[in-house]
Structure 1
């Protein structure tokens, strides 16, 4: 799933690789640094958080307030639906989110 990441300095897109009620794993280029505050908007849901860890092009984000169980379930369901996409389309979406296809 594509997420929009906003900090005080800029906005960019990233791939929402995993999500739980307390945080998420993001993948993308030039994502915020560890300990940086951010705002994530994905599929009509918005949440504030802080980058808890950084590893290459991946970031772990800790949410300021846990997601409601229904919101987490919706995001997980949509992530599973996205896994049913053809591999070529998933790769193209990942490239676009990470800035390779612009």
Structure 2
């Protein structure tokens, strides 16, 4: 990859990390786990969706692949009773570190 493409890739990754929010998390969950859109609201909890620690690891691997930020085990900071809005804020903080 030449330097110009590398710089563009870095900017795209930075934008994804900076813009990660509730909508991003809902899209990610829909893509990864095929949840219907009407199940995913800012107040829906991970517990209500039946997401366990294995699902969080899968989500962490997916995010790491897309952003280049290794977050796997740090997703343990997201409690199962967290709403998607709360989880998105926690994940955004992890990505920003």
Larger relative contact order (C-alpha < 8 A, sep ≥ 6)? 2
Does TM, scored on the shorter chain, surpass 0.5? no
Give the TM-score normalised by structure 2.
Answer: 0.27
Larger Rg: 2
The structure with the largest strand share of the pair is 1
Give the TM-score normalised by structure 1.
Answer: 0.27
